[in-house]
Copies of this chain bind each other. A is one copy, B any other.
Amino acid sequence: MDMEAGTRPATDQEIYQRLWSAIAERQIGPGTRLKEEQLSEIFSASRARIRQVLQNLARDGLITLVPNRGAFVSQPSTEEARDVFFARRTIEERLVEKLCATIDAGGIDRLRNHVEAERRAHSNRDIAAAIRLSGAFHLLIAELAQSQILADLLRDLVSRTSLIMAMYRQKDVLNCGPDEHNAIVDCIVARDAKKALAVMHHHLAHIENQLDLEADRVAARNLEDILGA
């Protein structure tokens, strides 16, 4: 977190965005405790407002509110992780399907430009930007598909996916490159809904399979939670 105290009062929206980004982009690790007073100093805001923001973040699943204990960056269980991917497949398969029917030239441009930006970040080894853009690609699809409700939910799911990857990614696996995203765009441009759906399914399954979501790992983690901090 590159936030400094003493800056002039930040609006609730800004505080929310700032924390959201910091968690979703893995600048704050899972399990980290967020103290209200600490945050109120950082953002020069009263505790009441911090509290509101925390409540919203909790509803997004990014942090977990423990009564009388405080707020912690969530540590999604493997069940929750699988559920997130199940929900993402459900939503995103439908969105690309719809997008194939409704995309226009402007939308195609935005998709192409975005994938190009991803490619640049990737070749520049700019990991932070790659993570951010990778998530933003999925959000762009949701935006173009014009379903506000599913787009809002997907925003949460994408950020939770970041958390999940921070916890369960196997060390030797890197982020998926922009190639699969490009393949999805190709399907959309070709207006091949069936294939677009299949490629999206494959893409999300691919990400999920890169994770280490085995049961024994769960036990180990839970034990660690019980014993450690």
**Which A residues are within 8 Å of any B CB, using their own CB?**
48, 52, 55-56, 59, 80, 83-84, 86-87, 90-91, 94, 147-150, 153, 157
Which chain B residue lies CB-closest to A80? B148
- Contacting pair B157 A86 (CB below 8 A): no
Cβ distance A90 to chain B, nearest Cβ, rounded Å: 4
Bound-state Cα–Cα, A86 to B80, Å: 25
Which chain B residue lies CB-closest to A59? B59
Task: Write out the residue numbers on chain B whose beta carbons fall within 8 Å of the beta carbon of A91.
Answer: 90-91
How many copies the complex holds: the figure is 2
- Contacting pair B55 A149 (CB below 8 A): no
Bound-state Cα–Cα, A36 to B153, Å: 28
Which chain B residue lies CB-closest to A153? B153
Cβ distance A117 to chain B, nearest Cβ, rounded Å: 28
22 A-B contacts (beta carbon < 8 Å): A52-B52, A55-B55, A55-B56, A56-B59, A59-B59, A83-B148, A83-B149, A84-B149, A86-B147, A86-B149, A86-B150, A87-B147, A87-B149, A87-B150, A90-B90, A90-B91, A90-B94, A90-B150, A91-B91, A149-B153, A149-B157, A153-B153
